[in-house]
Amino acid sequence: DIVKDCIRRHTQLQSRLLEAGPLFRAEQDRQAFAPPAPHAGLDLYGQLLAPLLPLPVEQSTRATDAFFAHGTGLRTPTSVRIGDLVDLLLTPPLEREHLGAEMPEPDLIATPDDSRFSEEQLARAMTLLDLEHDAPRRLSGLLAEARRTGDADLPYLVALL
């Protein structure tokens, strides 16, 4: 009884999977070649601002609050189409003169090298870490070898690298 039920479910699943490919491609074609949805334009001046200007502030706040509560807010991002993306990437950038005056280059001052580790310590740490690929070593062994050199900062540098 259980085996028959499993076989029945398996055949149902297999038939649905076989139907899914053409259905998916048909829906993809429908969405790809559908004309873009028209968006109704909003005339802020004619529909919101002009009727509210003659009203006192107490009466106009109700309408403006309702507009901004429903008219603005989170928007789901639109799906990206390859054609739009290619057009966007191939469009030359617009000249922007509204960004203001050009920023002057800052005067950079070289800071003194206050590194905790010297070049010699770095070279010794790199020789310790230069390992064969087929012979891995434990970090504890590397740290013990760094401690044996007598340099107190070398194990810390090996652990950092």
Domain assignments of the chain as residue spans, ordered by start: 119-160
Model confidence pTM above 0.75: no
The average pLDDT across 129-156 equals: 84
Token pair for residue 30?
């429908």
Quick count: other Cβ atoms within 10 Å of Cβ 85? 10
Among 2-16, 86-100, 144-158, the range with the most confident prediction by mean pLDDT is 2-16
Whose CA is closest to 52, among 66, 42, 63?
63
pLDDT, tens digit, 9 for 90 and up, residues 45-103: 888 888 888 888 888 888 888 887 777 766 666 677 777 778 888 888 777 666 667 77
pLDDT value at 143 more than 70: yes
The pLDDT of residue 75 is 62
Residue 126: which of 113, 147, 142 has the closest Cα? Answer: 142
